[in-house]
A = this chain, B = another copy of it.
Amino acid sequence: MRPGKAAHADRCPVSAVMGLRERKKLEAWRTIRSAALGLISERGFDAVSVEDIAAEAGVSRTTFFSYFSSKEAVVYDLDPEEVRQWRALLDDPRDGQPLWAAITEVALGLAQLLSERLPLQKRLFEQSPELCRSARGTCDSFEPDLKLWLAARVPDGDELRTALVFNTALAAFTTAIEAWDPDDPFETFLESVRDCLRWAGAGLARTGS
Contact = CB atoms under 8 A, between A and B. Distances in A.
B204 A205 contact: no
A202 interface: yes
A192 B161 CA distance: 10
Given A160-B192, A163-B178, A168 B200 contact: yes
Nearest to A209: B161
B99 A161 contact: no
B168 A172 contact: yes
A107 to B, nearest CB: 13
Given A133-B137, A170-B171, A164 B98 contact: no
A159 B200 CA distance: 15
B175 A163 contact: yes
A171 B196 CA distance: 14
Given A163-B175, A171-B171, A172-B168, A200 B199 contact: no
Given A167-B174, A168-B200, A171-B170, A160 B179 contact: yes
8 contacts: A98-B207, A99-B207, A163-B178, A164-B199, A167-B171, A167-B178, A200-B203, A203-B204
Interface of A: 98-101, 133-134, 136-137, 159-161, 163-165, 167-168, 170-172, 174-176, 178-179, 192, 195-196, 199-207
> Ordered nearest first, which 7 A-B pairs have the shortest CB separation?
A203-B203, A201-B205, A100-B205, A171-B171, A167-B171, A164-B175, A167-B175
